[in-house]
Structure 1
């Protein structure tokens, strides 16, 4: 079932017929040479039957085919008879070869258990074939047959055949390792006499955690490197104990080595550990199959895979089996069984066999490989340049070096490429087993001369080894006084360039002081590999820093640089980018006609340069729609159409584009203290009332921008003077680690202080509500409302009668005199005359005239007609058509805004000289 689930997740289909075919496999490879005689014997054994025998490599590519009946090969499709087809589970679904590789054990697939429909009429058995020395899976032996030919005895047959192939693989190994292994097996056959149960170590390894297997092999390697008789108790993570015993072994040719055996206590009730047949026990094959490679099968010797030791074990004769826990006790006792006479004897099996000096090399190589393996998880956990450099130093100390220094150019720290990597180096990291060494401190400029190991490594691109710093003339000459101080603490150095993708990023210095052994060539190779891997992570962080800096610069350039001059609201704002990347959050404040003000906040989905650029386009369009005096719901409708059009016009959006952008638009009118709002999938605003009460108005949510065809609804609320309207994006309240309702309660508490200024409110919200490490950017806008003094508002209602125009002019002049605006009276009187006359002639009554005394003088004339006025240049023979032209000349600005019933024509007159 697990295999079927994996196949489903990979998108495989049961009715697929094609499989990948490879013609580049080696027809004379190691596994092929080992398997050919065995398959020839099996073909003879199953002659006349419908048996299909195949051997595949460790990737699932079939290398060999044999058939019990020759005519069967002609009747089968090519996919089942020609070598080269790949049966890995990821491409072929659940099948014998693929499942054996995935599960790493003997498996049986019967009938409909096959994923592919073409195979559901047959059955198969498959077993991994391992290299006895490295424990690595070299291939798979598979028996395929009709469902009607199912026979449980095939388990024993395939096991013995796989053992025969494995023994032939062993025959291809080094003569010395083979001689030691043969000596151990011969000694065991003479002395065991049934006193111990042989344990199939492959079956033991299946029960162990990978970390347990690693520790077990590591302890066994240490015992071999000791070169004497000893025992070690290793406690597994599940509480069991494995005792490793080292025994001297000498081959017939005089090769001296150490064999490491594992002893397991008797199994608890309810558990079983199958014991493989001994070397002299028949496995159900014909007698001649046992002699395929000239000797008995290896029985108890079967290695579990330890990938990190492959290069060592394959050439040394070490035999890795399993790895395990902690708690080591070394004794000289030969009796490690510690069991009562009436208790079952412990299980016993071979773990490693090899020569002591080879074990020493293997142990050192293993530790280096473990360090390299750890590098992939410890270095590059962040996209911060300094932190990545610190991780390199922390990884190398103390397992490779006692002290590490890392110097990076100032340009690299900014995310750029350094024009002269050795010319502007800054000490970025100093890390070691002690903190009192006289290295130059972090942040200081470091200048290296051309003869120093550091600059030589940067020039050559290769690590430079100085095993004895007292004899390193170039290093000593650089700064005699400083180097003399260091020589009392360190004695050996490896200087390694940090180079990635052809770009020199800096220098890493590995120093040894406490360990008396100088660095060697192996250490230099290890340091070079560590630095190479770390350099890639540092370069990734550098590139990210550069891209983030560019996007931040673009984002800030597209956001408002200042707030417009207006008295309707007192505004404060904040923009906080995400830690990982910059997004498309934005805000804006737009002065509108009639002393009103428009407040925007929006969010473009995604992160990076594209989102920032899209944000700029949307903000520009939103501002344009707002300045046309459209109501909030109409503005959102226009933005929705724009987003849809942008997606359709983008050739690379593939239908995804920026659909999902959100926006909230509010218009506040200080003359009525009413606020009209509409939102498109955006979080609702918070309203702080003058008494400190905080509420979240229930606005219709509306769809996100870009979906198209769905309406937006506007809601009007009353905002008394001194209220605060708080607009924000979802990055403020949405966090995977926090509950939204709890965050809204925090926001309510942070805002429940009406005495705070908008600036103070912004800071309080970011300090108490914003996540410590935001994964999305945050835009915040706080606006405290003001009301226009009623004494600065003058309104007249009149019917559509031309005779009343003069009365309006006279009343307006008197009102301007009361406001002390006599010098503006002429222009205002003329503008009102033209606007009222146009409303009477071309509009419909009743007509309202309103004067607003704010930073400017605003003249408004409204009527119930939707007829829009148009500015035009009148011909010399026209009797009319010059009214709006005169208004445009006298006013700073003028325009039209539409009401639910009618329109308003307004003109704004400056008061700079008044």
Structure 2
């Protein structure tokens, strides 16, 4: 047989599958159906005596050309794949049974056909009927039959046919398994009878199945992929979800036969999607706050009610305190219940009864499942943080393996968030402790001023900052007042603040003038020439909050800060101030309005280059002085000028209030919410003065008899103050200091005694040479006087003035109770 015949005799599968893809409705009758097949009537000699139109269409012969001729005109031998027929002697031999043959078309080509013969009895001349059909078409039809058989017996998709009355007419094996009964027992039932209580859950469709099926019958429009929730008759008590589609069925003439339903159980896929959605929701909702209690509440909010009816979160106490576990084992009791889904937050210690799932979980360190209760330990690494208890009530109360894995994942994610909150609590507590230790804890009382203060850190998330204040006792009954602000937040700003405050206190006790003290602080944080290179044009880098210039003696120090330093003298009732980029103080003199002195505004600390200037103000006793940082003034709904107006109004209206109450009034007016985006420091000071009876001043000429005269004056004054016990030591001190002034300085010598909380003695001259304490050897004739003075007094020091220097000493009263504090 030639290659053309072989090709024609081979079933073309590709063509067959293309036929399957045809959108046109197919004739459901088989190719060998007598109504559509090519039929040939043969007599006993295999002569054609009848030729159907289908035969003429298949082979191209009209009836007039073929009737009366033998069958071998169009029918050849068996096809190559036909068994045991290849050696048949006659190509036109009568067909026996169903066979695959090659037929000859009128145009000469070969056509593979399926031939079947039907013998006729007692029918006259007609002996048999030969039925022919294209092999390709028959095989396609057979494959369709096999597919239908597979759908009916093997497919996991449930198939059912409902008649026009929506009663079940047929169901495949998968649908029968869901029902769990023989088909004869539920044939003719309606959908609501098969799945009572079920409902369609897809939005936009009726809830009842029969309504959807009725719409398909009426319109002919299919309904695809709608979700039906109900209970499977073979698995009562457990909800299932199906993806369903509905099509109208019609016969070849277009008559409506009913509705076909295909349904696939997607419960497992739906549950997996729900679990994934729960984890996604947990990722969005859990851990939004660095607060372990809030995180616990978020866990319950995600899990209830879709995953569990109730959720209890119990944490170890040290977790909430930001501590570390004592060892690797979990606590056996004493956990704090921070969340209960049915009661909200209920923070209290819980004790688990013996044998409880929680106690078993604590003992074993693993999860415990008892009926409808699932306990999952909350751990990060080897550290136990607490327990999460999931409880279910009602139907489907058992946790399956997938749900247990989901609970593990949910708790593991929550554990990371809780541990982050624990770490933040620990670090935040450490930062606040550092902040408190760096700020003044117990400011000493002072005769020169009465004061009150407030420090408000930023919110809990931002933490500590760099604002500070201080009240520093100085020589001569004076007091130093400091307020400053370091740019930024957190530990770096707090550490920088600590350095600046400590340095400012040390410099202040050296009796530096305000402008000199600020210059020294500027040197501390200013850029050094070798670490802050010049830009083009010889300019220095500009300091900003986002890009601070580092360098100077401490390159790691934040180099942007503002500061205001003031020194108040209660004897002269004057206040000397200087500021470095800081806001001016508010001053309310007795009986007057609030004002903001126009102090020269120096550059912020760390800028370098420009000198600082100081101003001298007269502050009578009872004057009110307010020092503050910009955090008190700035707000989203107002600018600094508006804040200054509010401060002035509060200070003026409430000037006579006690300072503690006045602090509260200022904070309430300027920070009504109690928090601010920046740290806030406020120092309120009410000035006092020393009574004239507490101060004695003498001026002596620089001559040899000055020391003796000074001893007489001092002794008499101490007697009038009833301080004769101090006369001997004070005479020695004054005698030595006056002798040194006469010997090494020029001009008059001034002596001042101040009776305050201690006895202050000052000797001033016009010299600028500072005495030094030293140890004299046995051969030295002098050098012992200042050493003796240092042994007789509590403290001593030197301060410089524009006209010279002052040596001062401080002596405690013998019984500690003879000081006369200023009351004005």
Residue 868 of structure 1 pairs with residue 770 of structure 2: yes
Is contact 1:847–1:862 with CA below 8 Å preserved after alignment? yes
CA distance in 2, matches of 1:180, 1:737: 67
Is contact 2:699–2:751 with CA below 8 Å preserved after alignment? yes
- Closer/same/farther in 2, CA of residues 501 and 766 from structure 1, 3 Å limit: farther
CA distance in 2, matches of 1:457, 1:713: 70
Q: CA deviation at 1:737?
A: 5.6
Q: CA deviation at 1:725?
A: 2.4
CA distance in 2, matches of 1:363, 1:508: 25
| Counterpart residue number, 1:761 | 662
Is contact 2:531–2:552 with CA below 8 Å preserved after alignment? no
Q: CA deviation at 1:671?
A: 0.5
CA distance in 1, matches of 2:210, 2:401: 29
Q: Could you report, residue by residue, the CA deviation over 1:539-587 in whole angstroms, capped at 9, with x for unpaired residues?
A: 1111000111122222223333322243111232333333221223333
Q: Secondary structure at the match of 2:676?
A: coil
Is contact 2:314–2:339 with CA below 8 Å preserved after alignment? no
| Counterpart residue number, 2:349 | 445
Structure with the largest fraction of helix: 1
Is contact 1:630–1:897 with CA below 8 Å preserved after alignment? yes
CA distance in 1, matches of 2:722, 2:657: 35
CA distance in 2, matches of 1:909, 1:511: 75
| Counterpart residue number, 2:290 | 383
Q: Could you report, residue by residue, the CA deviation over 1:413-441 in whole angstroms, capped at 9, with x for unpaired residues?
A: 11113335333443433443x549xxxx8
Is contact 1:246–1:259 with CA below 8 Å preserved after alignment? no
Q: Secondary structure at the match of 1:603?
A: strand
Q: Secondary structure at the match of 2:601?
A: coil
| Counterpart residue number, 1:413 | 320
Q: Secondary structure at the match of 1:699?
A: coil
CA distance in 1, matches of 2:770, 2:583: 36
Residue 748 of structure 1 pairs with residue 630 of structure 2: no
Q: CA deviation at 1:229?
A: 7.7
TM-score normalised over the length of structure 1? 0.56
2:733 to 825, 831, 842: 831
CA distance in 2, matches of 1:685, 1:762: 15
Q: CA deviation at 1:510?
A: 2.0
- Closer/same/farther in 2, CA of residues 786 and 891 from structure 1, 3 Å limit: same
| Counterpart residue number, 2:713 | 811
1:787 to 669, 686, 689: 689
- Closer/same/farther in 2, CA of residues 786 and 246 from structure 1, 3 Å limit: farther
Residue 247 of structure 1 pairs with residue 154 of structure 2: no
CA distance in 2, matches of 1:381, 1:509: 21
Within-5 A mapping of 1:792-803: 792-803=694-705
Residue 625 of structure 1 pairs with residue 490 of structure 2: no
Q: CA deviation at 1:224?
A: 13
Residue 713 of structure 1 pairs with residue 595 of structure 2: no
Residue 559 of structure 1 pairs with residue 439 of structure 2: yes
Q: Could you report, residue by residue, the CA deviation over 1:185-240 in whole angstroms, capped at 9, with x for unpaired residues?
A: xxxxxxxxxxxxxxxxxxxxxxxxxxxxxxxxx98699799988859xxxxxxxxx
CA distance in 2, matches of 1:409, 1:773: 30
CA distance in 2, matches of 1:640, 1:801: 43
| Counterpart residue number, 1:674 | 574
- Closer/same/farther in 2, CA of residues 540 and 865 from structure 1, 3 Å limit: same
Is contact 1:224–1:355 with CA below 8 Å preserved after alignment? no
| Counterpart residue number, 1:729 | 629
| Counterpart residue number, 2:426 | 546
- Closer/same/farther in 2, CA of residues 765 and 802 from structure 1, 3 Å limit: same
Q: CA deviation at 1:882?
A: 3.1
Q: CA deviation at 1:857?
A: 2.0
Is contact 2:793–2:809 with CA below 8 Å preserved after alignment? yes
- Closer/same/farther in 2, CA of residues 749 and 701 from structure 1, 3 Å limit: same
- Closer/same/farther in 2, CA of residues 258 and 516 from structure 1, 3 Å limit: closer
Structure 2 gaps, min length 5: 1-150, 158-199, 214-219, 229-240, 249-260, 533-549, 819-824
Within-5 A mapping of 1:61-460: 230=212, 247-248=222-223, 356-357=263-264, 359-419=266-326, 420-432=329-341, 434-435=342-343, 442-448=346-352, 451-458=355-362
Q: Secondary structure at the match of 1:711?
A: coil
CA distance in 2, matches of 1:568, 1:427: 51
CA distance in 2, matches of 1:598, 1:501: 53
Q: CA deviation at 1:704?
A: 2.7
Q: Could you report, residue by residue, the CA deviation over 1:740-769 in whole angstroms, capped at 9, with x for unpaired residues?
A: 344334433443322222222233333443
Is contact 1:227–1:356 with CA below 8 Å preserved after alignment? no
CA distance in 2, matches of 1:653, 1:459: 56
CA distance in 2, matches of 1:435, 1:883: 79
Q: Could you report, residue by residue, the CA deviation over 1:271-330 in whole angstroms, capped at 9, with x for unpaired residues?
A: xxxxxxxxxxxxxxxxxxxxxxxxxxxxxxxxxxxxxxxxxxxxx9999xxxxxxxxxxx
Is contact 1:386–1:428 with CA below 8 Å preserved after alignment? no
| Counterpart residue number, 1:608 | 490
Q: Could you report, residue by residue, the CA deviation over 1:79-117 in whole angstroms, capped at 9, with x for unpaired residues?
A: xxxxxxxxxxxxxxxxxxxxxxxxxxxxxxxxxxxxxxx
CA distance in 1, matches of 2:520, 2:765: 26
Q: Could you report, residue by residue, the CA deviation over 1:829-883 in whole angstroms, capped at 9, with x for unpaired residues?
A: 3322322232222122143222212122222222222222222333444443333
CA distance in 1, matches of 2:201, 2:586: 64
CA distance in 1, matches of 2:356, 2:637: 50
| Counterpart residue number, 1:500 | 380
CA distance in 1, matches of 2:648, 2:247: 73
Q: CA deviation at 1:410?
A: 0.8
Q: CA deviation at 1:461?
A: 5.9
Q: CA deviation at 1:359?
A: 4.6
Residue 683 of structure 1 pairs with residue 583 of structure 2: yes
Q: Secondary structure at the match of 2:728?
A: helix
CA distance in 1, matches of 2:335, 2:465: 32
Q: Secondary structure at the match of 1:867?
A: coil
| Count of aligned pairs | 569
TM-score normalised over the length of structure 2? 0.61
| Counterpart residue number, 1:900 | 802
Q: Which moved more, 1:698-707 or 1:403-412?
A: 698-707
- Closer/same/farther in 2, CA of residues 461 and 875 from structure 1, 3 Å limit: closer
Is contact 1:230–1:246 with CA below 8 Å preserved after alignment? no
Is contact 2:222–2:247 with CA below 8 Å preserved after alignment? no
- Closer/same/farther in 2, CA of residues 258 and 410 from structure 1, 3 Å limit: closer
CA distance in 1, matches of 2:306, 2:375: 17
Q: Secondary structure at the match of 2:602?
A: coil
